[in-house]
Chains A and B, each alone.
Chain A
Amino acid sequence: MRRRSTFLFTVMAFGFAFFYVPILSMIFFSFNASRLATVWGGFSTKWYAALFRNQQVLDALVLSLKIALLSATCATILGTMAGIALARFRRFRGRVLFSGLVTAPLIMPEVITGISTLMFFILLADWVGWPGSRGFTTITLAHITFSMVFVTTVVHARMLQADAAIEEAAMDLGSRPWQVLKDITLPVISPAILSGWLLAFTISLDDVVITSFVTGPGNTTLPLLIWSKVKLGVTPDINALATLIVLTVGAGVLIAGILLQRAERRRERDMQLAYRANQ
């Protein structure tokens, strides 16, 4: 039995306050009637109403969602392939370079990824005439590239955890490699694929730096719009927008977390049941 330390729990309480006070404060001031974003001037929801009338915000949101959906899906397919390749194919030509390529984007500073990708697109346009203009396509390509490695990390970890013998067992029972992939490997790693997709989706939806480099005129994603406004200072309409985003994402993560915990608890109960049946 370990002693409960007051010091530890004080720091933890302070830490959680540190995490959530700024966000709660932002939410609070989104209902501020005053134009001055940080001085309370009475309760109002007018900033929310203004937000829903703001075509610019709605357009940016739609563009961001389109890019995030497309890039997360492509990134999940490519990232899952890379994760399976790294975990299952011990030897192939260029494996060292490959494993370097799936980790480097994780630690590459965004500014460098941004300028390198932009220079690549400009030079490519110079040499082969494509991409003619930058926007949806270039943003999506860049997003796929840096988010697929996150999917790879998640999938690779799950593959290493899984018992490789189950794949051998399926093959031993008569399944050809692609059937093993379909019947066994993909179903077993499907939770990792799903969380990889969610991760890729969120990262794409959230990216400012790389997007700001590879975008072109007229293609403003939601983070770019917020970025351009935030640089000018704190305003109540951004508070309202931020509140909506934080609450949406927060609710999503919370629900996912609760569902996962329930599944875990059910699993534990099953295992206890099995244990008792064994007695």
Chain B
Amino acid sequence: MRATAAEGPAGTAATPAPADVLVRIEDVTKRFGSFTAVSGVSLDIRRGEIFGLLGGSGCGKTTLLRMLAGFEEPSAGRILLDGQDMAGVPPYARPIHMMFQSYALFPHMTVERNIGYGLKHERMTEAQRRDRVREMLDLVQLAPFAGRKPHQISGGQRQRVALARALARQPKLLLLDEPLAALDKKLREATQFELMNIQARTGVTFVVVTHDQDEAMTLSDRIAVMDKGRVMQVGSPTEIYEYPTSRFTAGFIGMATFFEGRVQGVDGPSLRIDLPETGTVIEARAAAGLAAGQAVTVALRPEKIAISRDRPAAANAVEGTVQDLGYFGKDSLYRIRLATGKLVLVHAVNARRTGADGRVADWEDRVWLSFDPEAAIVLAE
């Protein structure tokens, strides 16, 4: 696969001005014995953004976070914070704080003392310290619970205590390890927006580790998608979703159907690609650099495919039968079997209110699938 764009942020966006970069991760590798958890990662994290580290379990995202916090030292490469090499700086001397996945609240201290714990290392008067704790309690709306112990408050409140505690010392960088994983679904959505709100108000740079793509998409200004210790792609949520650069990213974020094919002709940005699995040659658009005869993978997102009973007047159209359909009320997901036997996922909004007969298609119906040349994601091998 073409991976040049994934190796560094330079590939997806213009290199930011040095003043804009808060953290520069340079070719960092971390090995535990013979196991390589993080392999040659380079990333720039900009001042004031929410940066998402997204990946499945064991992809190295947590190890990367722990290296930023100082709990692990890189085996190779270096981490610069504001231009300073962090090598050998222990966690307690870094202006980087972390919100742990388990929250790691001190069970024997009240909410107030938990939040104030880091401040005892600051040179400030008792009154200043009290004011700061009060300010943090107000920020996370926990003032009435100041005197409670962690086991006396709810899960959502604990999450907010952990956030306030990590923010109290005004870190340059806040690391959040799966910040919403321990909350139930309903609470998660509300908390997500609260996190963004607090980030906007404090202006602290956030690095959020998550395995949940929706969470990463909503929260982050930019996302790094990781797999097997490598960064696969860095970009804004839209870039990652609409312009994935690898089959992994295209499959990990959202749904897609993949077709193997070969470029037949190139005409400027326009390509003609032979996809044997559809039994046709399709039209697509892609950046320069592809030549005729080159093997490619084409990914199609389900919602980018239109479904109709009659042959549409579109550039790319192919016929199939409905194998399966899942009805979700507001929309339906279809699995369409093409003549070649290939199954294609298609997503359609149920815009009209009608009975079962009014659906676009039903089981075993013959239908036409069509998509714009722009909709096809072309991945070079």
Which residue of A168, A184, A278 contacts B154 across the interface (Cβ within 8 Å)?
A278
**For the complex, is B294 an interface residue (Cβ under 8 Å from A)?**
no
A173 near B169 (CB under 8 angstroms)? yes
B107 within 8 A of A: yes
Q: Cβ of B104 and Cβ of A168 under 8 Å apart?
A: yes
In the complex the two chains form, what is the Cα distance from A173 to B174 in whole Å? 11
**Does A199 lie at the interface of the complex (its beta carbon under 8 Å from any beta carbon of B)?**
no
A173-203 residues with Cβ-Cβ distance < 8 A to B are 173-176, 183-184, 187-188
Q: Which of B90, B98, B151, B156 meets A267, CB within 8 Å?
A: B151
Residue A275 lies at the interface, judged by CB distance under 8 Å to chain B: yes
Contact across chains for A188 and B107 when beta carbons are under 8 A apart: yes
Assess A274 versus B117: contact at CB under 8 Å? Given A165-B104, A172-B69, A172-B91. Answer: no
Q: Is B106 an interface residue (CB 8 A)?
A: yes
Q: Which of B71, B101, B102, B106 contacts A184 (CB 8 A)?
A: B106
B97 in the interface (beta carbon within 8 A): yes
Flag B105-120 by CB within 8 Å of A: 1 or 0 each.
1111000000001100
B153 touches A174 (CB 8 A): no
Residues of chain B within 8 A (CB-CB) of A168 are 69, 71, 91, 98, 100, 104
Does B107 lie within 8 Å of A174, measured CB to CB? no
B170, chain A: closest CB distance, angstroms: 12
Chain A proximity mask over B126-153: 1 for CB below 8 Å, otherwise 0: 0000000000000000000000010111
Closest chain B residue to A270 by CB distance?
B152
B contact residues around A277 at 8 Å (CB): 153-154, 157
Does residue B155 face the partner (Cβ distance < 8 Å to A)? yes
Q: Which of B92, B149, B165 gathers most chain A CB within 10 Å? A: B92
B contact set with A: CB distance below 8 Å: 69-71, 90-93, 96-98, 100-102, 104-108, 117-118, 121-122, 149, 151-157, 165-166, 169
- With A174-B121, A270-B151, A278-B156 already in contact, 11 other A-B pairs whose C-beta atoms are closer than 8 Å: A165-B102, A169-B105, A172-B92, A173-B169, A174-B92, A188-B106, A274-B151, A275-B154, A277-B153, A278-B155, A278-B157
Cβ contacts A to B, 26 pairs, < 8 Å: A163-B102, A163-B104, A165-B102, A168-B71, A169-B105, A169-B106, A170-B117, A172-B71, A172-B96, A172-B97, A173-B169, A174-B93, A175-B117, A175-B121, A183-B117, A184-B106, A187-B108, A188-B107, A188-B108, A274-B152, A274-B153, A274-B157, A277-B153, A277-B157, A278-B154, A278-B157
